[in-house]
Amino acid sequence: MPNARASHLTRRGLLAAGGALGLGAALAACGGESTSDSSTDAKKSGPWEFKDDRGQTAKAKSTPKNIVAFTGTAAALHDFGIEVKGVFGPTYVEDKAKGTKTPDVQAGDLDIDKVKVLGNVWGEFNVEQYAALAPELLITGMWEKDDLWYVPDQSKDKILKLAPSVALWASDMPMPKVLQRHVDLAESLGADVKTKKVTDAKAAFEKAAARLRAAAKAKPEIKVLIGSASADLFYVSAPGRPTDTLYLKELGVNFVTPAKLDDGGFFESLSWENVGKYKADVIMMDNRASAIQPDALKSKPTWAQLPAVKAGQIIPRVTEPIYSYEKCTPILDDLAEAIENAKKVA
């Protein structure tokens, strides 16, 4: 679900840009304190390795400390107690008039003033600054096999020569499995994933999943559309590939499935004149900074006439989840609440 919002009309770019709704291309859990007992210290001092979702094994003589990660992945690791030195990908939103920077939604609870931002937009990655960090590990997501999220193609070879890399799926695998992969990675890097904080967060996630399953079963007639807006196009995402919607579908949510998907199978793009092509009772809208938010769409008549919009049944969609239990739980609870309260309007 790439996101470079169509500055590059490639599948990768579209996803990044906003098509990642579940889209695609035009384009973990709470912080656990790391233990300090002798066994953990011994583990940290010995050789380290981790097999990623490409099937590749990253290796180091000792557990990596100088870690650079895609922003959302860094935010997930932070929730498990693992900090990174640098990040790349949407990290802050800049108000040039006020001269201020606020954390992007994908930064989670990261202190953006304490990490080196190597690139904040699609295609931006400062290789010299990356090298200066003396990186021991690069971590990112993967929407397509072997396609490293937000690692620019033009500089990928230089980047990957500087440190081992780990890529974890952001599609084609249900959310609980993706969460577990982030848990596995955090644990390999020294996180204590058996703390009460982590286990409580996982229990809360499972409780939210049960709530959503019950809501979907009680109201199977409620149709949910996954959308993302740009100035010229409205993207309707298919639920079958992104990890979040793949899992929500497994829980019983009745999603709209667009008929004419892009080559990656993530979404269908519609002109604003055709935004009403698919009927929906609830619309989940891409919450990323690259996407136009619902409040800014009021001037578009076709948007205002949608039954779900008239009924006020619009909720944010966390298009690129932060894979910690504490960040994924609200995704389930918010949709469960929306379905519980939804009226059949379409």
Q: Which has the closest alpha carbon to 48: 163, 164, 188, 184? A: 188
- Residue 42 pLDDT greater than 80, yes or no: no
State the pLDDT confidence band at 12, using cuts at 50, 70 and 90: low
Count CA within 13 A, CB hemisphere, residue 185: 35
Taking residues 139-165, report their average pLDDT. Answer: 97
pLDDT digits (tens, 9 = 90+) for 265-276: 899 999 999 999
Q: What angle do CA 142, 146, 151 make, to 5 degrees?
A: 65
- The contacts of residue 296 (CB under 8 Å, 6+ apart) are none
pLDDT digits (tens, 9 = 90+) for 158-177: 999 999 999 999 999 999 99
DSSP 9-33: -SHHHHIIIIITSS-------S--P
Chain center to CA of 92? 15
Residue 69 near residue 179 (C-beta atoms within 8 A)? no
pLDDT for 263 equals: 80
- Residue 39 pLDDT greater than 80, yes or no: no
pLDDT for 37 equals: 43
- The contacts of residue 171 (CB under 8 Å, 6+ apart) are 1, 24, 142, 143, 144, 241, 242, 243, 246, 266
H-helix or E-strand spanning residue 140: strand 137-144
State how far the Cα of 143 lies from the Cα of 121, in Å rounded to an integer: 17
pLDDT for 27 equals: 37
H-helix or E-strand spanning residue 87: strand 86-88
Q: How much of the chain exceeds pLDDT 90, in percent?
A: 83
H-helix or E-strand spanning residue 67: strand 67-70
- Report all structural domains of the chain as residue ranges with CATH numbers, in order of start: 11-193 (3.40.50.1980), 199-341 (3.40.50.1980)
Taking residues 53-69, report their average pLDDT. Answer: 97
